[in-house]
């Protein structure tokens, strides 16, 4: 029995950057998403591939490393990704709203295929649930989710082995009706989870009078954990001396809608770099 499709796990990749000492530090998560952009004469779908992560992951960087498995066997490979076309001219797009921490980068899928990589990716619209669909499905507080990523640089030895953490939706109704730009989930995330996908967990049961969500969908992208502050006071003066910022165990998530916005505005539909859905 599995609640996560293998393609979902294979769609998640570790993102790394060169450190001052010349080593690669894997410090973030990304995932591939694909949009259908035509069909071949034999009826096969042609897909355009994109890499999605947080915009703060790419900001200030010229290049990134993406770690991808070559298929069911063999060690993961490290591949260079160019982030700038020229000086201060990023190849990736972000949302027009500066509060939305999402970046989308087009990927040359053909080159990855020629390198022998079998890449999983989230297919639009089959694998996603935007806010409209979430409302239709009756998404609510208490529903289960999985957060996929590479917290604390735990990327696996020879291959990418994504870490799946389970949790639940803590607050979502404000996002469902567009009064908030994110929703909250009840799970711990750590450095390295930035840019990871949040997957709705299918269930076999539901309360009478509500829908049972039996499919697994990509519903959002990790933005960051929600902190709280603990203040240490001086026993002598009763004045605050040290402020500690702690992880509350809640995480903020941007709905998938913002990724779709960036695709629609920044990357109009046109047959270009495609991956054949074989």
The tens digit of pLDDT for each residue in 51-70 reads 999 999 999 899 999 988 87
| Cβ 259 vs Cβ 33: under 8 Å | yes
pLDDT at 273: 54
Tokens standing for residue 242: 């040290």
pLDDT at 40: 78
pLDDT at 274: 59
Q: What is the mean pLDDT of the chain?
A: 88
| Cβ 13 vs Cβ 31: under 8 Å | yes
pTM > 0.75: yes or no: yes
What mean pLDDT is predicted for residues 170-182?
93
What mean pLDDT is predicted for residues 226-253?
84
Tokens standing for residue 58: 């790419």
Tokens standing for residue 86: 């020229």
| Cβ 51 vs Cβ 221: under 8 Å | no
| Cβ 5 vs Cβ 199: under 8 Å | no
> Residue 260 class from Cβ within 10 Å (0-12 exposed, 13-18 middle, 19+ buried)?
middle
The Cα angle at residue 192 between residues 188 and 194, in degrees rounded to 5: 80
pLDDT at 278: 41
- Please report which confidence band the pLDDT of residue 200 belongs to, taking 50, 70 and 90 as the band edges: very high
CA 12 to chain centre: 8
pLDDT at 250: 95
Cβ-based neighbour number of residue 43 at 10 Å: 6
Out of 82-86, 105-109, 219-223, give the one with best mean pLDDT. 219-223
CATH class, range 6-276: mainly beta
> Of 202, 105, 211, 91, which Cα lies nearest the Cα of 146?
202
pLDDT at 245: 80
Cα-Cα-Cα-Cα dihedral sign, residues 244, 254, 198, 170: positive
C-alpha separations of 215 from 9, 126, 145 in Å: 16, 10, 12
pLDDT at 63: 92
- Res. 158: pLDDT tops 90: no
Strands 63-68 and 45-53, sheet pairing: unpaired
């Amino acid at each position: 029995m599995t609640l996560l499709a293998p393609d979902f796990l294979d769609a998640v990749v570790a993102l790394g950057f060169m450190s001052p000492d010349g080593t690669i530090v894997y410090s973030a998560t990304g995932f591939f998403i694909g949009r259908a952009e035509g069909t071949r004469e034999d009826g096969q779908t042609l897909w355009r591939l994109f890499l999605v992560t947080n915009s703060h992951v790419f900001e200030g960087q010229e290049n990134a490393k993406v770690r991808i498995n070559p298929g069911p066997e063999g060690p993961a490979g490290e591949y260079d990704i160019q982030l700038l076309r020229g000086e201060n001219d990023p190849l990736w797009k972000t949302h027009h709203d500066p509060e939305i921490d999402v970046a989308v980068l087009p990927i040359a899928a053909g080159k990855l295929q020629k390198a022998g990589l079998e890449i999983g990716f989230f297919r639009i619209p089959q694998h996603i649930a935007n806010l409209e669909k979430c409302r239709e499905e009756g998404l609510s507080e208490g529903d289960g989710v999985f957060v996929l990523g590479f917290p604390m640089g735990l990327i696996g030895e020879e291959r990418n082995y994504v870490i799946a953490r389970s949790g639940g939706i803590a607050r979502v109704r404000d996002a469902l009706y567009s009064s908030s730009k994110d929703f909250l989930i009840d799970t711990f995330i750590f450095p390295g989870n930035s840019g990871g996908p949040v997957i709705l967990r299918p269930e076999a049961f539901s309360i009478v009078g509500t829908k049972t969500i039996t499919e697994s969908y990509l519903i959002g992208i990790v933005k960051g954990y929600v902190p709280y502050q603990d203040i240490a006071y001086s026993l002598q003066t009763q004045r605050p001396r040290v402020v500690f910022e702690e992880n509350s165990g809640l995480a903020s998530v941007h709905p998938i809608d913002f990724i779709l916005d960036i695709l629609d505005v920044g990357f109009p539909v046109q047959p270009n770099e495609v991956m054949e859905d074989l």
